[in-house]
């Protein structure tokens, strides 16, 4: 069984946090092996495991999954600042009908209509 097949089997048997730790530990062992070969720095096995767990905690601290919003915020249209114009646009495409369309509306800083385009 090759490395990738073995990792795929582990992934099916171990929950995600455990699998992530397993991958990080494989990386840490390879890193330690290189440190021993190139720098002569030998660590006890428990120190490698403790460092790996610390790296995982640090990774999760900075890479938290995005929180799901349960309530959808309603946004209201606002006028642009004085001296500016605002261009709102939208489009749609029907894959089954192979047709689409778009619309553009431009308003001034007072919110007054200037022009529009549809296609």
Tens of each residue's pLDDT in the chain, 119 residues? 555 566 666 656 666 777 788 888 888 898 889 989 999 888 888 888 888 888 888 888 888 776 666 677 788 889 999 999 999 988 888 878 788 888 999 999 999 999 998 88
Domain that holds residue 100: 86-118
Sign, CA dihedral 47-52-58-61, equals negative
Say what the pTM is.
0.44
Q: Is residue 76 part of a domain?
A: no
Q: Is residue 31 part of a domain?
A: yes
Q: Are residues 48 and 90 in the same domain?
A: no
């Amino acid at each position: 069984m090759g490395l990738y097949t073995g990792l795929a089997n582990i992934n099916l048997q171990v929950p995600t946090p455990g699998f992530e730790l397993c991958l990080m530990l494989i990386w840490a062992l390879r890193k330690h092996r290189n440190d021993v070969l190139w720098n002569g720095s030998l660590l006890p096995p428990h120190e490698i495991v403790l460092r790996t767990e610390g790296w995982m905690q640090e990774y999760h601290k900075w890479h938290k999954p995005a929180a799901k919003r349960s309530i959808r915020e309603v946004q209201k249209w606002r006028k642009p600042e004085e001296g500016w114009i605002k261009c709102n646009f939208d489009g749609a495409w029907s894959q089954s009908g192979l047709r689409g369309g778009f619309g553009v509306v431009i308003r001034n800083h007072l919110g007054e209509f200037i022009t529009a385009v549809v296609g």
